Amino acid sequence: MIHKLTSEERSTQLAQLSGWAAVPGRDAIQREFKFADFNEAFGFMTRVAIKAQEMNHHPEWFNVYHKVEITLSTHEANGLTERDVALARFIDEVAKSTQRA
C-alpha cells in the first residue's frame, strides 16, 4: 500500500521543493514551467513522460505553446506521497537544463 504523507511530512517535503506549491482544496502540488518555444516544452514533457512511465506514476499536466503546468498527486493514496516528491525532483532536474523563466 502506498503511504500518504502526513501534514508534517508534506510540509517538510514541500519546503525542499523549489517552485512547487500546494493546490488549494486538494492534497496535491503544482508548478508551472516556461520554455523558449513549443519544441522545448514538448521535449521536456517527453522526458518527464518517459520517467513517469518507468515509475508507473503519471502527472496531470496542461500545455499551451511554451508553458507546461504540472500537478502531482497519487490517486491510489488520494493525496501526496513520496512518489510525487520523487517525480517532482526529477522534473526539476530536467527543467534546469531547458527552462527559460
* Domain boundary assignment for the chain: 7-98
Task: Answer positive or negative: Cα dihedral of 42, 45, 49, 50.
Answer: positive
Mean pLDDT of 68-83: 94
Alpha-carbon separation of residue 59 from 3, 5, 73 (angstroms): 18, 17, 8
In sequence order, what are the beta bridge partners of 34?
67
Q: What is the pLDDT of residues 26-54, one digit of tens each?
A: 999 999 999 999 999 999 999 999 999 99
Selection from 41, 26, 31, 38 nearest residue 89 by Cα? 31
Please give the pLDDT value at position 99: 59
Q: Under CATH, to which class is 7-98 assigned? A: alpha beta
Is the pLDDT reported for residue 101 higher than 80? Answer: no
Is the separation of the CB atoms in 32 and 44 below 8 Å? no
In sequence order, what are the beta bridge partners of 71?
30, 60
Is the separation of the CB atoms in 41 and 96 below 8 Å? no
